[in-house]
Structure 1
Amino acid sequence: MNGASTSSSLRAAFSHCVQQVRSYDYHHYLCLLQLPPDMRKAAFALRAFNVETARAMDVASDPRIGLMRLLWWQEAIDKIFSNKVIEHPTAQALSAVISEHKISKSWLKRSVAARINDARREVNDIPETIGELERYAEDTVSTILYMTLQAGGISSTAADHAASHIGKASGLLLLLRSLPYHASRNRQSYIPAEVAANHELLVNQGGQPEIRMGEGLSEAVFEMASVASVHLQKARELARTVPTEALPVLLPAVPAQVLLDSLRRTQFDVFDPRLARGVLGISPLWFQLKLKWYAWRGKF
Structure 2
Amino acid sequence: MNNANTYSGSIRAAFSYCVQQVRSYDYHHYLCLLHLPPAMRKTAFALRAFNVETARAMDVASDPKIGLMRLLWWQDAIDKIFAKKNVEHPTAQALSSVISEHKISKHWLKRSVDARINDASKEGGVLPETIADLEQYAEDTTSTMLYMTLQAGGICSTSADHAASHIGKASGLLLLLKSLPYHASRQGRISYIPADVASRHGLLITAHGRSEIKMESGEALSDAVFEVASVASLHLQKARELAPAVPTEALPVLLPAVPAQVLLDTLRQRNFNVFDSRILGGVQGVSPLWYQLKLKWHAWRNKY
* TM over 0.5, shorter chain: yes
Q: Is the 8 A contact 1:21 1:48 kept in 2?
A: yes
| Counterpart residue number, 1:137 | 138
Q: Which amino acid aligns with 1:296?
A: W
| Counterpart residue number, 1:207 | 209
Structure 1 Cα separation of the partners of residues 126 and 254 of structure 2: 33
Structure 2 Cα separation of the partners of residues 126 and 273 of structure 1: 24
Q: Is the 8 A contact 2:23 2:30 kept in 1?
A: yes
- Return 204-213 or 150-159, whichever deviates more: 204-213
Match of 1:268 among 269, 272, 287: 272
Structure 1 Cα separation of the partners of residues 164 and 25 of structure 2: 22
Tell me how far 1:224 sits from its aligned partner.
0.2
| Counterpart residue number, 1:46 | 47
Structure 1 Cα separation of the partners of residues 65 and 160 of structure 2: 38
Tell me how far 1:123 sits from its aligned partner.
2.9
Structure 1 Cα separation of the partners of residues 124 and 173 of structure 2: 19
Structure 1 Cα separation of the partners of residues 295 and 215 of structure 2: 34
Structure 2 Cα separation of the partners of residues 134 and 206 of structure 1: 28
Q: Which amino acid aligns with 2:259?
A: P
| Counterpart residue number, 2:34 | 33
Deviation per CA, 1:217-275, whole angstroms, max 9, x where unpaired?
00000000000000000000000000000000000000000000000000000000110
SS in 2 for 1:53: helix
Match of 2:249 among 245, 270, 275: 245
Q: Is the 8 A contact 2:190 2:213 kept in 1?
A: no
Q: Which amino acid aligns with 1:287?
A: Y
Q: Where do 4+ consecutive residues of structure 1 move more than 6 Å?
A: none
SS in 2 for 1:268: coil
Give the alignment's TM-score, normalised by structure 1: 0.99
Q: Which amino acid aligns with 1:60?
A: A
Q: How large is the RMSD of aligned CA atoms in angstroms?
A: 0.9
What's the % identity of the aligned pairs? 77
Structure 1 Cα separation of the partners of residues 215 and 232 of structure 2: 21
Would the alpha carbon gap of residues 121 and 252 (structure 1) be closer, same or farther in structure 2, given more than 3 Å must change? same
Give the alignment's TM-score, normalised by structure 2: 0.97
Counterparts of 1:217-256 in structure 2, within 5 Å, are 217-256=221-260
- Return 275-284 or 209-218, whichever deviates more: 209-218
Structure 1 Cα separation of the partners of residues 162 and 258 of structure 2: 17
Counterparts of 1:1-300 in structure 2, within 5 Å, are 2-186=3-187, 189-214=191-216, 215=218, 216-300=220-304
Tell me how far 1:205 sits from its aligned partner.
2.7
Q: Is the 8 A contact 1:123 1:188 kept in 2?
A: no
Q: Is the 8 A contact 1:124 1:209 kept in 2?
A: no
Q: Which amino acid aligns with 1:156?
A: S
Tell me how far 1:188 sits from its aligned partner.
6.1
Q: Which amino acid aligns with 2:123?
A: E
Q: Which amino acid aligns with 1:194?
A: D
Structure 2 Cα separation of the partners of residues 135 and 193 of structure 1: 15
Q: Is the 8 A contact 1:169 1:227 kept in 2?
A: yes
Structure 1 Cα separation of the partners of residues 16 and 65 of structure 2: 29
Structure 2 Cα separation of the partners of residues 128 and 221 of structure 1: 15
Tell me how far 1:124 sits from its aligned partner.
4.0
Q: Which amino acid aligns with 2:194?
A: P
- Any stretches of 5+ residues in structure 1 without a counterpart? none
- Return 287-296 or 34-43, whichever deviates more: 34-43
Aligned length: 300
Structure 2 Cα separation of the partners of residues 98 and 173 of structure 1: 29
Q: Which amino acid aligns with 2:205?
A: V
Q: Is the 8 A contact 2:129 2:196 kept in 1?
A: yes
Q: Is the 8 A contact 1:202 1:210 kept in 2?
A: yes
- Any stretches of 5+ residues in structure 2 without a counterpart? none
Q: Is the 8 A contact 1:169 1:228 kept in 2?
A: yes
Q: Which amino acid aligns with 1:150?
A: Q
Q: Is the 8 A contact 2:44 2:149 kept in 1?
A: yes
Deviation per CA, 1:120-170, whole angstroms, max 9, x where unpaired?
012341110000000000000000000000011111000000000000000
